Structure 1
Amino acid sequence: MTNAKLTSLMARGTEFLGCDVAIMCGAMSWVSERNLVAAISNAGGFGVIACGAMTPELLDKEILGTKALTNKPFGVNLITMHPQLFDLIEVCARHEVGHVVLAGGLPPKGSIDAIKAMGAKLICFAPALSLAKKLTRSGVDALVIEGMEAGGHIGPVSTSVLAQEILPEMAAQLPVFVAGGIGRGELIAGYLEMGAAGVQLGTRFACAAESIAHPNFKKSFFRASARDAISSVQIDPRLPVIPVRALKNEGTEAFTAKQREVANLLDSGVVDMGEAQLQIEHYWAGALRRAVIDGDVEGGSLMAGQSVGMVTKEEPVADIIAQLMAEAVVALERRSA
């Protein structure tokens, strides 16, 4: 029976995450908070709190809030450039968080050891094969390979190319989860057959019934097609801004202006490079909050992946996961026929 086939293909991922279905939710700032995270874990998937720019005190409250809504495993996503990264790791340790996801570049010195010392499993993003190998050597427990089709901060290579490059080389060594542009179960089945331990989806869950995103934010997703989710443009080579994919609006234009402003501050020596990049990060956090929480869909940032065209209505997380699994089963049945 092919349902058994799907279960066996996902076994490595579900065992690693401690859940029923090897689907992680991408950490979307302001969206991946206690309600959505708990709903995904309760539905058999793996919810991940987006710490983003939270202070240690806020993260502490968010973990407590999530624990009050679910007794299933969930993870916490931390940004490597957060100025209080080690304090945030300490908060995770205090709550005995089982899985920590480090995003946004190479883990700073000592961070891997600190996470391993608390007994958590560490998941890192690998946007290239060379980085996947380097991270594996440094003791990471699992990898996420995320293609440029994803929403939010993205790398330059598509998911299908990364999967072909990285899975045959790395999947035997550690669990590898595939992310970016995944909207249907047929694709999940394909990546599992290529050796992935599971997948990560963000955009598909952003407008779930349990998501606290503003109705205006959700409506923008329902109306959008794949080509509306565009990547931001870097205007100054000295300010290497990680591109961000979001729905085109006034906010995407405002970001270009913000980059000019920060580049001028850099020119005049008012800020150094680290401060300049932090200003850009804070800009995104603020713009995202305006869209997700306040419903400002013109001035805010509507971070979305190219799978946004497959998000057409508000539906419970459990239904989304059930549909993805049913599609994967049908795909596997067709292949084994």
Structure 2
Amino acid sequence: MARGVEFLGSEVAIMCGAMSWVSERNLVAAISNAGGFGVIACGAMTPELLDREIAATGNLTDKPFGVNLITMHPQLFELIDVCARHGVTHIVLAGGLPPKGSLEAIKATGAKVIAFAPALSLAKKLIKSGVDALVIEGMEAGGHIGPVSTSVLAQEMLPEIADQVPVFVAGGIGRGEAIAGYLDMGAAGVQLGTRFVCATESIAHLNFKKAFLRASARDAVATVQVDPRLPVIPVRALKNAGSDLFTAKQREVAATLDTLSTDKAAMLEAQLQIEHYWAGALRRAVVDGDVEHGSLMAGQSVGMVTKEEPVAEIIESLMAQAAQALEKRAA
């Protein structure tokens, strides 16, 4: 993990996935204080809200942490300015290719850029464009996902790019043995989200945590696309009535496209409607505890979340399992 630790400035190269409403000041600070690398999920926050969230996180930890920004956010450049004012050291860009000028804007602040690469061709393009590190995330992850599994992406991409930039592997990781395996393949570290949802420091509603503790891997299913015109990225979540509501929402947005031109602006607006839906549905579940109609975004590693425990114990357990696995291989 030496390369990942040096890049992040943390004690261990375990990043926390940016989970809207969950990866806020309390969990982010707790992860950084425990030696990991917390990441604030900006999501649909306004610049003013992000400004307050970064400041509040800084009051809870003096360790490094990052901020995850969505590339399609209409105020992306203003959010970058907010991060710059606070001296944020690492910005994670998610949700698609970084828009023109965004990488340069981040680099100008002195921050390091971490981007998601769901395919080898895109990874090479991002490296060429100047990103400092990559996250390769497989379909086992919670929230927005791609079509390829973590193990396949790691096998295909790590041998090609791990010597160029630090690469963090994500998706379906619930134990330290898996971390050891990806480090052995050339990863600089890992990113976990689902594993931290039921941390003691997580503000997720008790109902939300209970749903995770009851769930098995097969309960975390991906949404389906009902209209090929809609640029909908599949989302993995625990199946409930909210899953059916999303299908209905897609039909509603598709109906509006029937009356509009399908130019780039209309398609972007349709995509933003979908994203706003997820932000609201996730809030209903995480904050309000409506686990029936809200969104229970979870990765397939949810079956390995068996109890509520402090972040420090989660990280300690993961590292002990990883060390033991590597020791066995060395022996």
Please tell me the TM-score bracket, short chain as reference.
over 0.9
Write out aligned runs for 1:68-107 (5 A).
68-107=59-98
Report what 2:160 is aligned to: 169
Write out aligned runs for 1:197-216 (5 A). Answer: 197-216=188-207
1:268 and 2:268 aligned = no
Q: Look up the match of 2:310.
A: 316
* Aligned residue number for residue 306 of structure 1: 300
> Following the alignment from structure 1 to structure 2, what is the Cα–Cα distance between the partners of residues 332 and 84?
44
Task: Give, in angstroms, the shift of residue 250 of structure 1.
Answer: 0.3
For residues 267-288 of structure 1, give each alpha carbon's deviation from its aligned partner in whole angstroms, at most 9, with x where no partner exists: 1118811111100000000000
2:144 matches 1:153: yes
TM-score for the superposition, normalised by structure 1: 0.97
Distance 1:318 1:244 in 2: 29
Equivalent pair of 2:231/2:267 in contact (CA under 8 Å): no
Residue 220 of structure 1, aligned match among 193, 211, 221: 211
Q: 1:81 is paired with a residue of what secondary structure?
A: coil
Task: Spell out, residue by residue over 1:68-127, the C-alpha distance to the aligned partner (whole angstroms, 9 max, x if none).
Answer: 000000000000000000000000000010000000000000000000000000000000
Letter in 1 for 2:329: R
Matched, 1:329 2:320: no
Rounded to whole Å, the distance in 1 between the matches of 2:258 and 2:91 is 37
Q: Which residue identity lines up with residue 274 of structure 1 in the other structure?
A: L
| Identity value in percent | 82
Q: Deviations over 1:282-327 (max 9, x none)?
A: 0000000000000000000000000000001100000000000010
- Name the counterpart of 1:7: none
Q: Show the 5 A alignment for 1:1-337.
A: 10-269=1-260, 272-337=266-331
Secondary structure of 1:238 counterpart: coil
The SS at the match of 1:245 is strand
Distance 1:287 1:240 in 2: 19
Q: Structure 2: any 5+ residue segments left out of the alignment? A: none
Q: Distance in 2 between matches of 1:222 and 1:62?
A: 28
Query: What's the CA shift string for 1:130-160, capped at 9, x where partnerless?
Result: 0000000000000000000000000000000
Q: For 2:63 and 2:231, how far apart are their aligned partners in 1? A: 39
d(CA) in 2 for partners of 1:139, 1:64:
28
Could you tell me which amino acid in structure 2 is paired with residue 273 of structure 1?
M
Rounded Cα–Cα distance in structure 1 between residues aligned with 2:87 and 2:325 = 38
Secondary structure of the residue aligned to 2:297 is coil
Query: What CA distance in whole angstroms lies between the structure 2 residues aligned with 1:186 and 1:49?
Result: 26
The one-letter code sitting in structure 1 at the alignment partner of 2:35 is G
1:24 partner SS: strand
Q: Is the 8 A contact 2:77 2:102 kept in 1?
A: yes
Secondary structure of 1:272's aligned partner: helix
Q: Encode CA deviations 1:173-232: one digit per residue, 9 max, x unaligned.
A: 010000000000000001001000000000000110000000000000000000000000
Consecutive unaligned residues in structure 1, runs of 5 or more = 1-9
Q: Secondary structure of the equivalent of 2:50?
A: helix
SS at match of 1:211: coil
Off by >3 Å, runs of 4+ in structure 1:
none
The amino acid across from 2:26 in the alignment is N
Give yes or no for contact 2:27–2:201 (8 Å, CA) kept in 1: yes
Distance 2:87 2:47 in 1: 15
Contact 2:204 2:286 in 1 (8 A): yes
